[in-house]
């Protein structure tokens, strides 16, 4: 991508993948990120409402690849992440199967003071256009143009799409080769139930993987570092149950998830002061046998995101890092 004048790059999506890519390419190119919502982070998200705070997307992460470990160290140095030494249990049929405390031997991290702090750290010095839902993309001669409901943006030398696979598929015109690579990527939905209480935690643990249930995960969100009071609890459904029940209205989903929470935790639940359901249509993605690298050098179009590898934070980072390295080494 070495050119006399700095190339102009448009990135769609200010999640971890889009932001990381923007920061890695920022020295070589003029980069603009288009984001449909009014904040950064995408699924790295935190809801603050009525004095309660919930990480209602990604919950925590681990770091395996050395490149990602280096990035996590940088985040730690800037206090954007901390280790979460949670009292962790595995629950099955209402019984604790195993328990341990997460520690520095295999660190589990969370954004600090909220999950979206990671995105906020990355977003510094990036030109982001918020509330810009891209509805159409067009290639005219060698340039890309992007459309929102009211405006058109361009020309751009390169277009990079960093949004969930199925949304990317909807955006891509029929005749482009990257579209074919998206056909087999199916993302899965998930329900997140958020519960806020005025009193102390009634669980003896902070985080639980759940099996044999319509629920997959329960955590005391307020037990994460730097969250403080009041008590907040996150309850997540399995992807399969969400898929089967997407058509049901919120009150029914909430009731079924609350009944199941009481069952698997063997607790009579007190009435929560705050209850809200979040429906994630595109929450997770299966692990790819081989990481997808989607770059079309003939049309100057590329895609990245967690789904290119697996539905995890580390994958969103690695997918954008791999793409940035490829683009940096490309000489047209």
**How near is the Cβ of 60 to ligand FAD at its closest, in Å?**
5
Q: How far is the CB of 196 from ligand FAD (least distance, A)?
A: 18
Instruction: Closer to ligand FAD by CB, 94 or 288: give it.
Output: 288
d(CA 178, CA 165): 11
Residue whose CB is less far from ligand FAD, 64 or 267: 64
Query: Cβ–Cβ contacts within 10 Å for residue 153, how many?
Result: 16
Residue placing its CB nearer to ligand FAD in the complex, 92 or 129: 129
Q: Does 134 interact with ligand FAD (rule: CB under 6 A)?
A: yes
Residues between 63 and 82 that touch ligand FAD (CB under 6 A): none
By CB under 6 A, name the one of 306, 309, 324, 327 that touches ligand FAD. Answer: 306
Nearer to ligand FAD, 196 or 305 (CB): 305
Question: By CB under 6 A, how many residues form the interface with ligand FAD?
Answer: 39
Question: Which parts of 224-283 interact with ligand FAD (CB under 6 A)?
Answer: 236, 280, 283
311 lies in the site for ligand FAD, by CB under 6 A: yes
State the Cα–Cα distance between residues 287 and 149, nearest whole angstrom.
34
Contact with ligand FAD (CB under 6 A) among 9, 10, 13, 206: 13
The separation between the first and the last C-alpha atoms of the chain, rounded to the nearest angstrom, is 6
Check residue 218 for interaction with ligand FAD (CB under 6 A).
no
Q: Does 44 bind ligand FAD (CB under 6 A)?
A: yes
The reply to whether 12 sits near ligand FAD by the rule CB under 6 A is: yes
Q: Per CB under 6 A, which of residues 149..208 are in contact with ligand FAD?
A: 162-164, 167, 171, 190, 192
**Residue from 7, 18, 178, 196 in contact with ligand FAD (CB under 6 A):** 18
Q: Which residues bind ligand FAD (CB under 6 A)?
A: 12-18, 34-37, 42-44, 57-61, 133-134, 162-164, 167, 171, 190, 192, 236, 280, 283-284, 305-306, 311-313, 315-316
């Amino acid at each position: 991508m070495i050119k006399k004048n700095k190339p102009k790059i448009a990135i769609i999506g200010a999640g971890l993948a889009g932001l990381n890519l923007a920061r890695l390419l920022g020295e070589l190119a003029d980069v603009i990120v288009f984001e449909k919502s009014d904040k950064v982070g995408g699924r790295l998200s935190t809801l603050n409402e009525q004095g309660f705070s919930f990480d209602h997307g990604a919950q925590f992460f681990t770091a395996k690849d050395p490149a990602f470990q280096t990035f996590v160290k940088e985040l730690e140095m800037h206090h954007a992440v901390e280790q979460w030494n949670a009292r962790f249990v595995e629950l099955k049929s209402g019984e604790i199967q195993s328990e341990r405390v997460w520690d520095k031997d295999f660190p589990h991290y969370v954004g600090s003071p909220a999950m979206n702090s990671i995105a906020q750290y990355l977003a510094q010095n990036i030109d982001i256009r918020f509330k810009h839902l891209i509805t159409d993309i067009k290639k005219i001669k060698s340039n890309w143009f992007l459309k929102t409901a009211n405006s058109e943006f361009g020309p751009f030398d390169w277009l990079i799409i960093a949004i969930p696979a199925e949304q990317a598929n909807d955006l891509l015109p029929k005749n482009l080769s990257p579209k074919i690579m998206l056909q087999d990527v199916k993302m899965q939905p998930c329900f997140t139930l958020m519960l806020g209480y005025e009193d102390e935690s009634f669980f003896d643990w902070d985080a639980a993987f759940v099996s044999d249930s319509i629920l997959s995960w329960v955590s005391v969100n307020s037990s994460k570092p730097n969250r403080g009071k009041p008590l907040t609890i996150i309850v997540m459904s399995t992807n399969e149950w969400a898929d089967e029940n997407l058509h049901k209205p919120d009150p029914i989903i909430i009731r079924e998830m609350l009944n199941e929470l009481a069952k698997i935790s063997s607790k009579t639940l007190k009435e929560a002061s705050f209850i809200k359901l979040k429906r994630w249509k595109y929450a997770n993605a299966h692990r790819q046998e081989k990481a997808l690298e989607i770059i079309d050098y003939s049309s100057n179009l590329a895609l990245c995101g967690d789904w290119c590898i697996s539905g995890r934070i580390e994958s969103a980072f690695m997918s954008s890092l791999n793409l940035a390295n490829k683009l940096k080494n490309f000489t047209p």
